[in-house]
Amino acid sequence: MKTTKARDAVVAGAQGLALALMALVGSITAFVLAVVSIALIPIGVGVLTTPAVLHLVRAHANQRRLLAAQWSAVRIPVPYRPFPSDMRTGITGQVERCTLMLKDPATWRDMQWLLVDMTAGAIVAILPPALILEGIFGLLLLAGLWQPIVEADGTYWYSFIPVDGWGTAGLAALLGVVWIKVALYGNQFLIRTHFRLAGSVLAPNREVELEQRIGRLTETRHDALDTSAAELRRIERDLHDGAQARLVAMGMNLGTIEALIEKDPAQAKELISKARESSAEALTELRDLVRGIHPPVLAERGLGDAVKALALRLPVRTEVEVELPGRVEAPVESAAYFAVSEALTNAVKHSGADRLWVDVTYADGSLRIAVTDNGKGGAMIGTGSGLSGIERRLGTFDGVLAVSSPAGGPTMVTMEIPCALS
């Protein structure tokens, strides 16, 4: 336990040193470049340099967001407004890009953060390594280091203790132990404080959050409408080309049978057999179609059993683990089922895996589903991919999708949808 605490304190000290260097070198450099570039806008030069400098500032801020999540589990939202898809190129596009970035409130929050980071942020970050080093230095004074220092410069002040002999060196060592003790219990807190300080400046205010939420809801609403229209077209096409065509053929066969049943009973018997096959195929296609709209097992037995039934139909061996203490709301249940279905279909088609795993759980007010395969990896969310479709489907319910798929595998697709259980 003590070893772990000491290791964590040392790691936090190293992290604090890195953050302090980033604040004192990176933030000061970025702030100076940004101020100079913006000041040059009236003479035209700044119009060309400001977008590149502000992108640099954003990269610096995003790096701090990433470290906040990785080192202290502090999440700082990324609130930058997206650029329009029809952004022009050349000088006109450069002016347009510069104007949009300067009108974005997140740009000015980045500038405020640079000021905070190079001052208060740097001070908080330097404390963890300073506590450790100061504590070790106090112990070294008692080990005899005080003698050459005092002989060279006279009385040495260690914090508030005037060290001039073994007695005061002992007091310095005692204070050093106190600093090390504070580092053991406070270093991680100080690193977390540094990130929360950054988050208090970088995070968007309530108005911006609402604006982003409205934009996201509008986008997901359009996606939902497009998906519904595409689904209706698919159903119409499947009915027209599948079951409807088979039923028409069956009707024609029955008409022919009626005419032949007395003249040519053998041929009529053959046509009856074909009509029976057509009716069976039409029934199978209708069942598949209904399953594609809303599987009966999902409506009757819930998400867990529906996913298990889905896994049984896959050509790849699939294990399903479900821990749901209740029933999910019907719209969420349907979205989650088809998201799992699409993820499994993608894995079967593209991963090259011979094993699949599905875990369905509920915790902290969210439905969590993980689809894992032992395939070749390399999956990513992008335009036109099945994973993008899953992301849009979950976005309608404020759900999120995360994909971990290094080259060589394995691939894990994690879905999380906030919802309540009945």
Split at pLDDT 50, 70, 90, the class of 211 is: confident
Split at pLDDT 50, 70, 90, the class of 344 is: very high
State the CB neighbour count (10 A cutoff) for residue 365: 9
Calculate mean pLDDT across residues 344-357. 90
Closest CA to 173 of 143, 193, 205: 143
State the CB neighbour count (10 A cutoff) for residue 22: 19
Helix (H, G, I), strand (E, B) or coil at 81: coil
Give the length of the chain: 422
Supply the DSSP string of 303-336, one letter for each residue: HHHHHHHHHHTSSSEEEEEEE-SSPBPHHHHHHH
Calculate mean pLDDT across residues 324-344. 88
Go through the domains of the chain in sequence order and give each one's CATH number. Answer: 1-204 (no CATH), 208-292 (1.20.5), 298-418 (3.30.565.10)
For residues 38 and 239, what is the distance between their CA atoms, to the nearest angstrom?
62
Cβ atoms of 339 and 394 within 8 Å: the answer is: yes
For residues 293 and 289, what is the distance between their CA atoms, to the nearest angstrom?
6
Q: pTM surpassing 0.85?
A: no
Distances (CA, A) of 326 to 4, 50, 161, 331, 422: 39, 54, 64, 15, 6
Q: What is the pLDDT of residues 98-112, one digit of tens each?
A: 998 998 888 999 999
Q: What is the pLDDT of residues 286-306, one digit of tens each?
A: 877 777 777 888 888 889 999
For residues 334 and 319, what is the distance between their CA atoms, to the nearest angstrom?
20
Buried residues in 45-77 as b, exposed as e (16+ CB within 10 A): ebbebbbebbebbbebbeebbebbeebbebebe
Q: HSE-up of 317 (CA within 13 Å, CB side)?
A: 3
